[in-house]
């Protein structure tokens, strides 16, 4: 199964491409914004393709040529300019979803924010609310398609070392999770079709990742 | 027919409330952000209600209590902070649409931007693209509902005196239109049920407004 990683050069993305290349059943195609970012991925044995989320759907669909799944882990982050929040976190995500349809790629994994509900937009501090809203509308768009989606809502991201253990369910108490473990959760979803059509929150817990994901 | 005007204190909104009050068949309920804005509308004979688009759906639905139609002409404008672009132009619009459903108000008129297509987002200068994207997603959300909607896409807005004459169709050449004429176009849509389920671009032209709107 070949996987287009959108946002490969991000912190989760780099772990993810590495773990995909470690897997027997998966291979990665890293979507990057410029050629200078390629060597990191080529050293891992991964294919690369240059494309930008601010380009059009057709360009992104071309990047998805020949893959079986797409992981959207790009993000302007909650602290970039709010213009990028709407153009990358919302519109970039929607264009990637539409590109998946155009390229005939059914499997789509979205890395969302911990809580993207309507209530979470209202409750968020004003500096964070636009980001939550962008992620909310991207998730809603994906759920309205007939793609084989999984939406992952990770807790507060840290750069701590991987624990390999999670708590995952439609709703869990707020907590942290290392980015490395999020990457492992994504791989576990790619390898487990029971995650199709589901969304779940995930934080560090006491279940080995494969088991934790299988129980959602 | 009682009409909730969302964004009543805006430039189009003020003309609109005035024209609604001039009409025999319509009356206005002006939604304003604070009590200090009320006197202008009370002097026109219009009812007012204080509510804010950054509040929740239930609050907006309460403002819509007892009305037969909602006009969304609020806008942070293309030059406000991009946080407001997503929270007002997109999320505020969607909350108003959801509030219409909750309050059982079927008729909904959206004042959009001239071109909110996917292509227009891509073609827009980077400072304007977030606004176009926000309006695009708000329009898409409305079209996915079963409300009796009309989406008006006015040309470049001016403060020129009203001409009373327009060119209106699904697609027209770019042009200008005075805000006062946009307000008359909204009234014409409220009074003409053939505009339900339609969207159209409108600029200054040579057809009297009622005729121009009837031909779309």
pLDDT tens for each residue of B68-120: 999 999 987 656 677 789 999 999 999 999 999 999 999 999 999 999 999 99
* CB contact at 8 A, A105 and A67: yes
- Beta-carbon separation of B134 and A82 below 8 A: no
* Torsion B19-B111-B176-B8 (CA) sign: positive
Residue A76 lies in a domain: yes
pLDDT of A75 above 90? no
Tokens of A24: 């027997």
Phi, psi of B181 (to 5 degrees): -70, -35
Residue B167 lies in a domain: no
Closest CA to B3 of B189, B168, B201: B189
- Beta-carbon separation of A83 and B129 below 8 A: yes
Average pLDDT over every residue of B13-33: 97
Look at residue A84 in the predicted model and tell me its pLDDT: 87
Residue A185 lies in a domain: no
The predicted-structure confidence for A187-197, as pLDDT tens digits, reads as follows 999 999 999 99
The predicted-structure confidence for A99-117, as pLDDT tens digits, reads as follows 999 999 999 999 999 999 9
pLDDT of A77 above 70? no
pLDDT of B39 above 80? yes
Look at residue A103 in the predicted model and tell me its pLDDT: 98
Question: Could you tell me how many CB contacts below 8 A there are between chain A and chain B?
Answer: 56
Q: Half-sphere exposure of residue B27, counting CA atoms within 13 Å on the CB side?
A: 8
**CATH code for position A80:** 3.40.50.720
Look at residue B75 in the predicted model and tell me its pLDDT: 87
Q: Place B216 in a pLDDT band, splitting at 50, 70 and 90.
A: very high
CA end-to-end distance (rounded Å), chain B: 23
Average pLDDT over every residue of A176-202: 98
Residue B180 lies in a domain: no
pLDDT of A141 above 90? yes
Look at residue A83 in the predicted model and tell me its pLDDT: 79
Residue A62 lies in a domain: yes
pLDDT of A183 above 70? yes
Residue B15 lies in a domain: yes
Average predicted confidence (pLDDT) for chain B: 96
Give residue A27's domain range: 2-152
**CB-based burial, B163-200: b 16+ in 10 Å, e otherwise:** beebbbeeebeebebbbbbbbbbbbbbbeeeebeeebb
B chain contacts of residue A90, beta-carbon cutoff 8 Å: 86, 133, 137
Chain B interface includes A116 (CB < 8 A): no
Q: Place A79 in a pLDDT band, splitting at 50, 70 and 90.
A: low
Average pLDDT over every residue of A155-173: 97
B131 is catalytic: yes
Residue B95 lies in a domain: yes
Q: Which residues pair with B48 in a beta bridge?
A: B30
Chain B interface includes A134 (CB < 8 A): yes
Domain count along chain A = 1
The residue among B30 and A77 whose pLDDT is bigger is B30
Choice among B72, B131, B137, B149 that is catalytic: B131
Residue A182 lies in a domain: no
The predicted-structure confidence for B50-72, as pLDDT tens digits, reads as follows 999 999 999 999 999 999 999 99
């Amino acid at each position: 199964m070949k996987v287009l990683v959108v946002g490969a050069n991000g912190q989760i993305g780099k772990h993810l491409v590495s773990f995909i290349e470690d897997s027997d059943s998966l291979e990665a195609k890293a979507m990057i914004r410029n050629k200078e970012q390629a060597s990191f991925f080529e050293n891992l044995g991964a294919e690369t393709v240059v494309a930008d989320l601010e380009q059009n759907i057709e360009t992104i669909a071309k990047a998805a040529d020949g893959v079986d799944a797409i992981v959207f882990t790009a993000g302007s982050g909650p602290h970039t300019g709010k213009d990028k929040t709407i153009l990358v976190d919302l519109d970039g995500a929607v264009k990637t979803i539409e590109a998946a349809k155009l390229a005939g790629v059914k499997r789509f994994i979205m890395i969302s924010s911990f809580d993207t509900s309507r209530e979470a937009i209202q409750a968020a501090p004003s500096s964070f609310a636009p980001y939550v809203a962008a992620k909310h509308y991207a998730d809603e768009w994906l759920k309205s398609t007939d793609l084989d989606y999984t939406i992952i809502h990770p807790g507060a991201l840290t750069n701590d070392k991987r624990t390999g253990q999670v708590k995952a369910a439609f709703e869990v108490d707020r907590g942290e999770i290392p980015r490395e473990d999020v990457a492992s959760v994504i791989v576990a979803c790619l390898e487990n079709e029971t995650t199709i059509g589901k969304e779940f929150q995930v934080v560090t817990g006491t279940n080995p990742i494969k088991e934790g994901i299988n129980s959602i």
